[in-house]
Structure 1
Amino acid sequence: MTNPVILVVGAGPGVSASVARRFAREGYDVALLGRDRDPVETLAGELRARGVRVETRLADVTDVEAARESLTGLAQTFGRVDVLHFNPSAFREKDPLELEVDDLLADVALGVGALLTAVQATRPFLQDGGRVTVTGSMAADQPWHRAASLGVQKAGVRNLVHSLDATLRDDGIRAVSVTVRGTLSGDGPFTPDRVADALYDAATQDEQHWRTEIPYEG
């Protein structure tokens, strides 16, 4: 039998790296899609040193054609995707009077639209029992006005997760976002590793009582 596979979209340092490590500890092979070579290859090298099978691709996920090609290539390499994890978002420190419409649309394309690209590209490889997980944020409910586009992204991606779950659940595929209600830090309850634990728990929750949003309070 082949190992289950997690495909991490927006791979790099922080939560995405912790998610890759967490699932790898559970026996998953790991596919990484990121924009910048150094953090992707650093993470891949670390996982390979632990004996994990890892494949990587580089692409800007807002470039729909390039992202779709990379995602499809990763999925084809393994022949399956059991968990699709979506992590990207844009932090732009501009309040609503400074934020241009083009800025907002670009940020939403990254933090929300790219999830559509990822799910559509990997859908043929997601089978019964497949999961889509998303890193959410309290910015969806309590936006900081100085980063107005982030709240829009997090509210939008959470809403999209609800729709994805409703669309996919009849095929046994479920979607969930974990709303991180705190600020990421190097220690304490909101470390990337602790958030990754919450995302793993969300992905493996009882399907009979499935929730499409789970708050992580730390």
Structure 2
Amino acid sequence: MTRNVLIAGAGPGVSGSLARLYASEGGRVCLLGAEDGVLEALRSSVESLGAAAATAVVDLTDDAATRTAVTRLAEEAGHLDVVHFNPSAYREKDPLSLTPDELLDDVRLGVGALLTLVQAARPFMGPGGRITATGSMAADTPWFGAASLGVQKAGLQNLVRSIDNTLKGDGIRAVSVTVRGMLAKEGAFAPDNVARALRAAADQDESAWQSEIAYTA
């Protein structure tokens, strides 16, 4: 099955593996990210697999710029089958040093940007469309030393559930995959394996749909 896929927060890790996984099936891969060099390298790897690719450099916390970028890429693609949300902010501060403004800045990227992405992509999605997100065990077992990450991942998981309930009547489903382990170069938590888990979550049977799936070793 060929699909048009939009990946937000695209980079060399899990999102890059996911881009190449979808590219291997054909279709079109649209990449949103913050660094031009990273996007161009990923674009080249996608195109080397025979898929069409398009990129946009954008600060995902900039609502207007992100909406413009999503609309442009979606119009070029014609429609979107899968929208994937990957970004989060890692700030090594515990609750006694983290400021409210820093927390809000991080949540704006790791959670709030999903609202922008979904609202901008929705006009280009139809029945069978899927929204996926990279979750983390930090949602319910946070490390105090990076307190904002746990808040982001808990909020992401919650928001994905709300998005799924909002769109399921239109045949569009949303799911977050909670990665219960540390990402590594090899093994179960290597980016390619996590990407396959995200791909499988998008393909789950709609009659038994789960809006949050745990990925473990």
Same fold (TM over 0.5): yes
Tell me the distance in 1 between the aligned counterparts of 2:160 and 2:27. Answer: 23
1:180 matched to 2:189? The reply is no
Q: Aligned-pair RMSD on alpha carbons?
A: 1.0
Tell me the distance in 2 between the aligned counterparts of 1:26 and 1:133. Answer: 18
Q: What TM-score results when the alignment is normalised by the length of structure 1?
A: 0.98
Residue of structure 2 equivalent to 1:120: 119
SS at match of 1:6: strand
Deviations 1:155-196 (A, max 9, x none): 000000000000000000000000000000001110000000
Tell me the distance in 2 between the aligned counterparts of 1:23 and 1:162. Answer: 24
1:64 matched to 2:50? The reply is no
| Structure 1 segments of 4+ aligned residues over 3 angstroms from their partners | none
Q: Report the Cα offset of residue 26 of structure 1.
A: 2.4
**Would you say the 8 A contact 2:20–2:49 is kept in 1?**
no
- Give the unaligned 5+ runs of structure 2: none
Structural mapping, 1:11-22, within 5 Å: 11-22=10-21
1:155 matched to 2:154? The reply is yes
Q: Report the Cα offset of residue 3 of structure 1.
A: 4.3
Tell me the distance in 2 between the aligned counterparts of 1:46 and 1:121. Answer: 26
Deviations 1:17-59 (A, max 9, x none): 0110111122331000001001110010111122210011110
Mean CA deviation greater in 19-28 or 98-107: 19-28
Tell me the distance in 2 between the aligned counterparts of 1:51 and 1:178. Answer: 27
Q: How many residues align?
A: 217
Residue of structure 2 equivalent to 1:47: 46
Residue of structure 2 equivalent to 1:86: 85
Deviations 1:33-91 (A, max 9, x none): 00100111001011112221001111000000001100111101001010000000000
Tell me the distance in 1 between the aligned counterparts of 2:143 and 2:63. Answer: 29
Tell me the distance in 1 between the aligned counterparts of 2:71 and 2:154. Answer: 27
1:170 matched to 2:173? The reply is no
**Would you say the 8 A contact 2:24–2:50 is kept in 1?**
no
Tell me the distance in 2 between the aligned counterparts of 1:28 and 1:159. Answer: 30
Tell me the distance in 2 between the aligned counterparts of 1:28 and 1:82. Answer: 10
- Give the unaligned 5+ runs of structure 1: none
Mean CA deviation greater in 28-37 or 84-93: 28-37
**Would you say the 8 A contact 2:26–2:50 is kept in 1?**
no
